[in-house]
Amino acid sequence: MSPRPQLAIGTYGNINTTKQADGSWVALARFRDDDGETRRVKATGRSKSGAEAALKEKFKTRTNTTGDMNGESTVRELAERYYAGKEGEDLAANTYYNLRRSLDNHIIKRLGGLKLREVTPPRVEAVVASITKENGPGTALMVRSVMSGMFADATRWGAVVTNPVTYTPRPRLEQKRIRALTVDEVVRLRALVASRLRPFTYEERIERAEKLIKAEVKAGKLAAPVDPRTRMGGKNRSQTLLDIMDYLLATGCRASEPPGLAWVDVHLDDPVPWVFIHQQVQRSPGKGLFVTRTKEHDERYLRLPGFAVEMLRRRRETVRGPMVFPSERGTLLAGRQVGTAWGNAVRGSEFEWVTLKTLRKTVATLVAESHGSALAANQLGHSSDKMTRQFYIAQSMAPVESSALDLFQPKALETSEDVA
């Protein structure tokens, strides 16, 4: 007869329950304590389930882990404790947002009811593979990173022996070719956006009003047509998106940073006009839009080219309030609103592939070509040029200067008779 397998420290064996003569229940199980000794532990309750629950509560108090976290704790409990610990750190609002989404939409949803001792490398690998298939490798990589951090803490607290995530492969991200705009493409793109955002003429506004009136008459909202001039109210097309485009091309900022730019940080009247970039606008669940520090808390003092100075001076005369790029109502502008407006502006054109991040890559590429990748990294706010070179600087398509290799060119034979 094979010996009974030894329990892992902090775990228990099968729970046996017995009904007593007085109607109460006793639950009994073997538990291996932190000193390595296995002991019988019992608890009583008015019902079978009550006795089992009381026994499990006793198990929790027999370990020397942090608080009540041990192998019998659930992934949901670990997730909430992990998030609570992160709330005490000085992280960007978007980091908290993505962390909460990873926990709620994936980790708790798929593993929340499991006990920590039940989370094995095969289970983690299966979950990551499922997320990769359904949501893509980028999301899977983020979720795996969060799980790894959770179980690293659980290991440190003694709730699990090892981190099961470390034994699973990382999802592979496809390295796409970096694509940036050429100077000629920038000129054409700006002309396209400007044409699509140009203010309506008086005739166009009359035409739009007439169409609106016809639609209301047809729907029964109006008994008869009215003078279209009475329906020409409201604001014309906003030029904010075009101005943000110019600002992004002038600075290489992230899309969330223009909405966070305040006039106090814009210095147009200095001998060399410049701007101080140190904040952005983010959205947080339950908090809405708010101004916070830039990603990685980087701060940049950037010189402004002439076209950006001209644009900002024009806005200074017309925009009211502390922010340079507010919404049409004068409130904070959301980065997602800018992204949506941009998608509408380039839809159906040759530049439909261009995103706001493409403009950032374009700036990095142009700066790197003329001044090197180190200055491009400073322009973008990266701590080193490694990330800049890997993800932002497009490979030049111009022929490489290779005149030095002419030394390898075989000498031309003068005549065919020389061969003979």
Residue 65, pLDDT above cutoff 80 = no
Residue 291 lies inside a defined structural domain of this protein:
yes
Average the pLDDT over 62-71 and give the result. Answer: 63
Residue 315 lies inside a defined structural domain of this protein:
yes
Shortest CA distance to 179 belongs to which of 350, 353, 338, 382? 353
Output the pLDDT for position 15.
Answer: 92
* Segment 290-333, tens digit of pLDDT: 888 887 778 899 999 999 999 999 999 999 899 999 988 889 99
User: Which CATH number do you get for residue 82?
Assistant: 1.10.150.130
Shortest CA distance to 45 belongs to which of 36, 54, 58? 54
Q: Are residues 31 and 62 in contact, defined by beta-carbon separation less than 8 angstroms? A: yes
Q: In this structure, are 153 and 55 located in the same domain?
A: no
Report the alpha-carbon distance of residue 251 to residue 246 in Å, rounded.
9
**Mean pLDDT of all residues in the chain?**
85
Output the pLDDT for position 420.
Answer: 43
* C-alpha torsion angle, residues 393, 397, 401, 405 (rounded to 10): 110
Greater confidence (122 vs 335) lies with: 122
Report the alpha-carbon distance of residue 138 to residue 158 in Å, rounded.
30
* Residue for token pair 């374009």: 362
Residue 172 lies inside a defined structural domain of this protein:
no
284: containing domain: 181-193+240-396
* Residue for token pair 């199980």: 29
Confidence category of residue 32, pLDDT binned at 50, 70, 90: confident
Q: In this structure, are 267 and 304 located in the same domain?
A: yes
Q: In this structure, are 221 and 256 located in the same domain?
A: no
> How far is the CA of 43 from the CAs of 12, 54, 59, 72, 115, in angstroms?
14, 6, 10, 17, 21
Report the alpha-carbon distance of residue 178 to residue 394 in Å, rounded.
5
Greater confidence (286 vs 50) lies with: 50
Q: Are residues 95 and 115 in contact, defined by beta-carbon separation less than 8 angstroms? A: no
Residue 175 lies inside a defined structural domain of this protein:
no
Both tokens of 252, joined, read 């290489």
Q: In this structure, are 232 and 351 located in the same domain?
A: no
- Per cent of the chain over pLDDT 90 is 47
Q: Are residues 92 and 292 in contact, defined by beta-carbon separation less than 8 angstroms? A: yes
What is the model's pTM? Answer: 0.65
What is the count of structural domains for the chain? 4
Q: In this structure, are 361 and 292 located in the same domain?
A: yes
Q: In this structure, are 346 and 383 located in the same domain?
A: yes
Residue 163 lies inside a defined structural domain of this protein:
yes
User: Which CATH number do you get for residue 312?
Assistant: 1.10.443.10
Output the pLDDT for position 409.
Answer: 59
Q: In this structure, are 204 and 298 located in the same domain?
A: no
Query: Which residues have a Cβ under 8 Å from the Cβ of 102 and sit 6 or more positions away?
Result: 142, 143, 146
Output the pLDDT for position 39.
Answer: 85
Residue 124, pLDDT above cutoff 70 = yes
Q: In this structure, are 131 and 204 located in the same domain?
A: no
Three-state DSSP string of the chain: CCCCCCCCCCCECCCEEEECCCCCEEEEEEEECCCCCEEEEEEEECCHHHHHHHHHHHHHHCCCCCCCCCCCCEHHHHHHHHHHHHCCCCCCHHHHHHHHHHHHHHHHHHHCCCEHHHCCHHHHHHHHHHHHHHHCHHHHHHHHHHHHHHHHHHHHHCCCCCCHHHHCCCCCCCCCCCCCCCHHHHHHHHHHHHHHHCCCCHHHHHHHHHHHHHHHHHCCCCCCCCCHHHHCCCCCCCCHHHHHHHHHHHHCCCCCCHHHCEHHHEECCCCCCEEEECEEEEEECCCEEEEEECHHHCCEEEECCHHHHHHHHHHHHHCCCCECCCCCCCCCCCHHHHHHHHHHHHCCCCCCCCCHHHHHHHHHHHHHHHHCHHHHHHHHCCCCHHHHHHHCCCCCCCCCCCHHHHHHCCCCCCCHHHHC
Residue 402 lies inside a defined structural domain of this protein:
no
Output the pLDDT for position 334.
Answer: 85
Output the pLDDT for position 413.
Answer: 45
Report the alpha-carbon distance of residue 2 to residue 251 in Å, rounded.
72
* Torsion sign, CA atoms 344, 350, 351, 353: positive
Residue 398, pLDDT above cutoff 80 = no
Strands 25-32, 16-19: pairing kind: antiparallel
Q: In this structure, are 271 and 391 located in the same domain?
A: yes
Confidence category of residue 401, pLDDT binned at 50, 70, 90: low
Q: In this structure, are 276 and 334 located in the same domain?
A: yes
Residue 418 lies inside a defined structural domain of this protein:
no
Q: In this structure, are 320 and 367 located in the same domain?
A: yes
The amino acid occupying position 199 is: P
Residue 417 lies inside a defined structural domain of this protein:
no
Confidence category of residue 144, pLDDT binned at 50, 70, 90: very high
Q: Is 256 exposed, middle or buried (0-12, 13-18, 19+ CB in 10 A)?
A: buried
Report the alpha-carbon distance of residue 250 to residue 252 in Å, rounded.
6
Residue 83, pLDDT above cutoff 60 = yes
Confidence category of residue 122, pLDDT binned at 50, 70, 90: very high
* Segment 147-163, tens digit of pLDDT: 999 999 999 888 888 89
* Segment 232-256, tens digit of pLDDT: 655 556 789 999 999 999 999 999 8
Residue 121, pLDDT above cutoff 70 = yes
Q: Is 188 exposed, middle or buried (0-12, 13-18, 19+ CB in 10 A)?
A: middle
Q: In this structure, are 79 and 26 located in the same domain?
A: no
* Torsion sign, CA atoms 344, 349, 355, 358: negative
Output the pLDDT for position 12.
Answer: 86
